[in-house]
């Protein structure tokens, strides 16, 4: 029986569900694993993916199901909740099913969005471990990333203090790094807007090289992107060495390998390549691997986790960050292409709350009560808001992946509102299912599970939006017009100069295009809801991730370091000092 999600907090449901969480031995038996394929780590073991692929590499892949969403409100529309609910629903239908979700960041966990553990009866457990570090992958990424910055600043200090001859005595050659052309900054896994722009090295000659620097959020680190796309440990090691840390005074890149820090960075990262096993509240296995934030990063669970999941499960469910314009676009044109994988179905999550916002409803503000329009029936707002849903549906159709629209049910939704959405989606030629997984777990997701199973039997005609041979500016123009609905692209002089340089250098020819854009609108402006018309996409800069092999055009004023709100979650998180149990997570 499902727990009463209208009365119990997520952490309370998790506490009850964890009483029945499978043991490692039960996991091994359920998935027909070998003991040596499991790496013990408390309640959440890792899967040794190399050993798994060695044994199962020739086994046919299961069905590959991706979960995305319409443009969300600032509260999120439940992609992870739907991912977990779908897994529970397919299990109720007797299917061998599992999935892969992204690692939660400390930024949203301690801020306004919560832990990305799902919610209600479609929840990931053990919730506390999942939310607060899990097996330490993000901590390892932070240490590896910041070690690289330590190496950079120390090298700049030594080159400022020593002559070429003195450097040679220490086995060093002058890299001649330009302090005004440093690509990397430091990372911390919180939303710390006060660290976006900093000065380091204040003091004397022994206190580091003085220069302007910056912090980003840890899950936006290039190392997280590398983890998401790496094939194995040798690939990870090679990619880390190619990270562009800065440029010298003649404009040539200075890499982690040039700083001789890439080996030590890999030492910090060596254990991160193996996915961690967690569970739905109903006991189905779900791998956790790689990170969130599709607006400023790749926003995908890893290729490694999907490759393993497709061998272990007959139905493998994975999720992409935010909406179809950014998370799904990166799944479509980057992750699936790099992984050589063919998706079968994409589930497009919509809520009546978000549709009403796009239909002209009042602003949804985190920490404030929802206006009445969102808790009472309003068919006019729903109908107008469906324009945003249909736009995202068309994005998925362009990929050739079979779409299924999921109405993620809230207990305030009315049947008339649900029926209206189903009618509109049906007229657009797509399947649509209403799902009450938050309220009822797997039993509430049976309609969705049936729609997905039916869609999996349809042929997927998957194709990428653009060939790798297409130049960067043409790719961005195509994404802006075909995915976002823009009239075109406006490049700042600096961004265009960089783009031309990348296009003229064959080294960057096979780099993926990784857009950086707000998740709160199809456009670059988070205030523009619905389906904006008559606008152009402004690109102000292009970042280069040499190890991940990404070129990252930055649209609008988006920052790589989010901010913390005035009413963050950490105000309500605490520990029972008698039992050590954490309360307040959501």
Within 8 A by CB and 6+ apart from 342, the residues are 64, 336, 460, 462
Q: Three-state SS for 462?
A: coil
Query: Residues 340-362: what's their mean pLDDT?
Result: 97
Is the pLDDT at 11 greater than 70? The verdict is yes
3-state secondary structure of 510: coil
Interatomic CA distance for residues 179 and 255, integer angstroms: 14
Q: Is 215 helix (H, G, I), strand (E, B) or coil?
A: strand
Token pair 């707002």: residue: 381
User: Residue 559: is its pLDDT beyond 90?
Assistant: no
8 Å CB contact between 567 and 367: yes
Give tens-digit pLDDT for 258-302.
999 999 999 999 999 999 999 999 999 999 999 877 787 888 999
Q: What CA–CA distance (Å, rounded) separates 110 from 233?
A: 32
Q: Is the pLDDT of residue 130 over 70?
A: yes
pLDDT, tens digit, 9 for 90 and up, residues 59-113: 999 999 999 999 999 988 999 999 999 999 999 999 999 999 998 999 989 998 7
DSSP state letter for 370 = P
Q: For residue 332, what is the DSSP state?
A: I
Please count the other Cβ atoms lying within 10 Å of the Cβ belonging to residue 353: 24
Residue 452 confidence (pLDDT): 98
420 pLDDT higher than 80: yes
Positive or negative: CA dihedral 46, 51, 53, 57: negative
Q: What rounded mean pLDDT belongs to the chain?
A: 95
Structure pTM?
0.95
pLDDT average, residue stretch 538-564: 93
Task: State mean pLDDT over 544-551.
Answer: 95
More confident residue, 43 or 27: 27
Annotated binding site for ATP: 73-80
Report pLDDT digits (tens) over 140-187: 999 999 999 999 999 999 999 999 999 999 999 999 999 999 999 999
Smallest Cα–Cα separation from 361: which of 340, 339, 347, 380?
380
**Tens digit of each residue's pLDDT (9 = 90 or more) over 478-505:** 999 999 999 999 999 999 999 999 999 9
Query: pLDDT-based confidence at 1, cuts 50/70/90?
Result: low
pLDDT tens track for 432-467: 999 999 999 999 999 999 999 999 999 999 999 999
CA quadruple 364, 370, 373, 376: dihedral sign: positive
Is pLDDT at 14 greater than 90 in this prediction?
Answer: yes
For residue range 373-399, list pLDDT tens digits in order: 999 999 999 999 999 999 999 999 999
Give me the mean pLDDT over the 3-7 stretch. 94
Nearest one of 323, 520, 345, 348 to 425, comparing CA atoms: 348
With contact defined as beta carbons under 8 Å apart, do 322 and 74 qualify?
no
Phi, psi of 459, rounded to the nearest 5 degrees:
-70, 130
- Tell me the binding residues: 73-80
Distance CA 520, CA 482 (A): 18
Nearest-angstrom CA–CA distance, 433 and 447: 6
Q: What is the pLDDT of residue 112?
A: 84
Residues carrying an active site annotation = 79, 81, 102, 113, 294, 322, 410, 438
The CA distance from 545 to 512, in Å, is 10
d(CA 297, CA 96): 31
Counting residues of the chain whose pLDDT is more than 90, the rounded percentage is: 92
Q: Which long-range contacts (CB under 8 A, 24 or more apart) does 44-48 make?
A: 44/126, 44/129, 44/130, 44/134, 44/135, 44/276, 44/277, 44/278, 44/288, 45/276, 45/277, 46/135, 46/271, 46/274, 46/275, 46/276, 46/277, 47/274, 47/275, 47/276, 47/277, 47/287, 47/308, 48/274
Answer for the pair 33, 291: CB distance below 8 angstroms, yes or no.
no
Q: Convert the pLDDT of each residue in 100-128 to its tens digit.
A: 999 899 998 999 878 889 999 999 999 99
> Which of 326, 419, 402 has the alpha carbon at shortest distance from 65?
402
Cβ(549)–Cβ(377) below 8 Å: no
Distance CA 103, CA 105 (A): 7
Domains of the chain: 137-265 (3.30.1510.10), 472-554 (3.10.410.10)
The angle, 0 to 180 degrees and rounded to 10, between the axes of the packed helices 79-92 and 446-456 is 80
Distance of CA 552 to the CA centre of its chain: 15
Distances (CA, A) of 190 to 187, 323, 584: 9, 22, 18
Nearest-angstrom CA–CA distance, 162 and 454: 69
């Amino acid at each position: 029986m499902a727990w009463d999600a209208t009365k119990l907090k997520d952490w309370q449901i998790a506490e009850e569900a964890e009483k029945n969480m499978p043991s490692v031995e039960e996991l091994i038996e359920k998935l027909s694993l070998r003991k040596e394929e499991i790496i013990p780590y408390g309640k959440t073991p890792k899967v040794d993916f190399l050993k798994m692929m060695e044994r199962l590499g020739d086994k046919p892949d299961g069905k590959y199901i991706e979960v995305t969403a319409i443009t969300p409100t600032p509260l999120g529309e439940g992609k992870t909740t739907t991912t977990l609910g779908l897994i529970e629903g397919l299990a109720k239908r007797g299917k061998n099913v599992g999935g892969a979700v992204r690692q939660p960041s400390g930024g949203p966990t301690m801020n306004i969005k919560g832990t990305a553990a799902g919610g209600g009866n479609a929840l990931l457990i053990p919730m506390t471990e999942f939310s607060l570090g899990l097996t330490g992958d993000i901590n390892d990424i932070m240490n590896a990333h910041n070690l690289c910055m330590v190496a950079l600043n120390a090298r700049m200090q030594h080159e400022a203090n020593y002559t070429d001859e003195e450097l040679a005595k220490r086995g060093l050659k002058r890299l001649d790094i330009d302090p005004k052309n440093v690509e990397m900054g430091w990372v911390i896994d919180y939303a710390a807007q006060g660290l976006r722009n900093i000065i380091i090295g204040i003091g004397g000659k022994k206190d580091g090289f003085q220069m302007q620097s910056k912090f980003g959020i840890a899950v936006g680190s290039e190392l997280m992107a590398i983890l998401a796309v790496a094939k194995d440990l040798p690939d990870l090691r090679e990619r880390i060495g190619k990270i562009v840390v800065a440029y010298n005074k003649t404009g040539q890149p200075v890499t982690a390998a040039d700083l001789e820090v890439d080996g030590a960075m890999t030492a910090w990262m060596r254990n991160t390549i193996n996915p961690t096993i967690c569970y739905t509240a109903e006991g189905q296995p779900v791998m956790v691997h790689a990170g969130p934030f599709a607006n400023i990063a790749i926003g995908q669970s890893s290729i490694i986790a999907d490759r393993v999941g497709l061998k272990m499960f007959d139905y493998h469910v994975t999720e992409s960050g935010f909406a179809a314009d950014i998370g799904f676009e990166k799944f479509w044109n980057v992750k699936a292409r790099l992984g050589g994988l063919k998706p079968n179905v994409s589930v497009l999550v919509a809520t009546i709350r978000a549709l009403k916002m796009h239909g002209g409803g009042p602003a949804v503000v985190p920490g404030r009560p929802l206006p009445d329009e969102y808790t009472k029936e309003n068919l006019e707002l729903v109908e107008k808001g469906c324009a945003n849903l249909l736009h995202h549906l068309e994005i998925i159709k362009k990929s050739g992946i079979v779409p299924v629209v999921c109405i993620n049910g809230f207990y305030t939704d009315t049947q008339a509102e649900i029926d209206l959405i189903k009618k509109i989606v049906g007229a657009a030629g797509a399947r649509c299912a209403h799902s009450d997984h938050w309220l009822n777990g797997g039993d509430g997701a049976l309609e969705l599970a049936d729609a997905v199973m039916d869609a999996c039997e349809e042929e997927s005609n998957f194709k990428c939006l653009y060939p790798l041979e297409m130049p960067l500016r043409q790719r961005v123009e195509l994404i802006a017009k075909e995915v976002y609905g823009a009239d075109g692209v406006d490049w700042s002089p600096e961004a265009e100069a960089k783009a031309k340089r990348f296009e003229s250098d064959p080294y960057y020819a096979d780099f993926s295009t990784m857009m950086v854009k707000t998740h709160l609108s199809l456009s670059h402006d988070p205030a523009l809801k619905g389906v904006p018309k008559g606008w152009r996409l402004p690109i102000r800069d292009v970042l280069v991730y040499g190890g991940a092999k990404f070129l990252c055009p930055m649209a609008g004023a988006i920052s790589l370091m989010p901010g913390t709100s005035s009413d963050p979650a950490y105000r309500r998180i605490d520990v029972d000092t008698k039992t050590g149990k954490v309360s307040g997570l959501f």
